[in-house]
Amino acid sequence: MSGKPSIDSKRQARERIAAQRAAAQHRRAMIQIASAATAVVLVAVAVLIGVRLTRHTSTTAAGKSSSTVQAMSGTAPASLVAQVTGVSTATLDKVGAGQVGQIPLAIKGAPALTSGGKPEVVYIGAEYCPYCAAERWPMIIALSRFGTFTNLGLTHSASGDVYPNTPTFSFHGAAYTSAYLSFSGVETNTNQPTANGYTTLDTPTAAQQQLLTTYDAAPYVSASSAGSIPFADLGGQFLISGASYSPQLLAGKTQQQVAAVLNDPASPITQAVDGTANALTTALCKLTGDKPATVCTSAAATADQGKLG
């Protein structure tokens, strides 16, 4: 599992991710126009989209006890954060490029994005979004190689969405300190449904919204996936639009169960999560001028070096 995927498998993975992102964009548009009287229909639409996206049958919130869902929410315990942010260098090096459908896309001709004199990473997502849920795992691993997170939340994607209850963290209220990078995490909505979508949480600043409007659109991403979340701008040099791997890999698991396999290079979850973290690390090293050297000269950080542009 630690070897490089074939060209065909990479192409199939990219096509699958593209289809999922397009479907997610369509679903968000449906949420925006739904009225209070169509809340039940909205759930049905999400389920139908989920059937079209994947042939497996996902477990919904109705199939979980309330205690299980509750256990996936709240403040992330320090022991869990340490387990995720402490994935060993040996494991990351062995995973290398892993099994990843999409790596960060280079932005040509954009101004540098900085904050406090350091390259800035701006993330925009939502707690209801299963694709955001999947992408936060590698983002936390990669960014933790350059700094430290505090006050990460524990959450899951919406119960009524495709890939229901995908286990994840939340950047709402979290802080990040680093000598090399700045990070701003925006979670626009919770995973709790309201009449017209999901409860509002964080509001992007005007500058953050401008990044989303400018770079989460053609020609930087395909017209069919414009506006997709998660979105991240990495220092004005790279962007992420949509998930790098399928949330299906995390289906039916808790955060603890996901974290428990992240040091096993043979796990498909590890190949996707750690592989994506390595691609992000490669991009972040370009922002920091290959600092710290102990991170940026590693096999993990150079696995995708020739692919980012």
Q: What is the pLDDT along the chain (309 residues), one digit of tens a residue?
A: 444 444 444 444 554 555 555 455 544 443 343 333 333 333 333 333 333 333 222 222 323 333 344 335 789 999 999 999 999 999 999 999 999 999 999 998 899 999 999 999 999 999 999 999 999 999 999 999 999 999 999 999 999 999 999 999 999 999 999 999 999 999 999 999 998 899 999 999 999 999 999 999 999 999 988 999 999 999 999 999 999 999 999 999 999 999 999 999 999 999 999 999 999 999 999 999 999 999 999 999 998 877 876
In this structure, what token pair is assigned to residue 249?
A: 């890999």
The pTM assigned to this predicted structure is: 0.78
Give me the pLDDT at residue 72, please: 55
10 Å Cβ neighbour count for 304?
22
Give me the pLDDT at residue 65, please: 32
In this structure, what token pair is assigned to residue 98?
A: 């892993």
Q: Which amino acid is at 169?
A: F
Domain range annotation of the chain: 1-73, 75-302
In the chain, where does DSSP find H-type helix? 7-33, 39-53, 66-71, 78-85, 89-95, 130-143, 206-215, 255-260, 268-288, 293-296, 299-302
Give me the pLDDT at residue 306, please: 76
Give me the pLDDT at residue 198, please: 96
Check if the beta carbon of residue 123 is closer than 8 Å to that of residue 211: no
Give me the pLDDT at residue 184, please: 97
Check if the beta carbon of residue 174 is closer than 8 Å to that of residue 154: no
130-143 vs 268-288: helix axis angle to the nearest 10?
A: 60
Q: How far is CA 118 from CA 12, 147, 159, 233, 291, in A?
A: 37, 12, 38, 14, 12
Give me the pLDDT at residue 305, please: 77
Q: How far is CA 97 from CA 10, 11, 134, 260, in A?
A: 11, 15, 17, 20
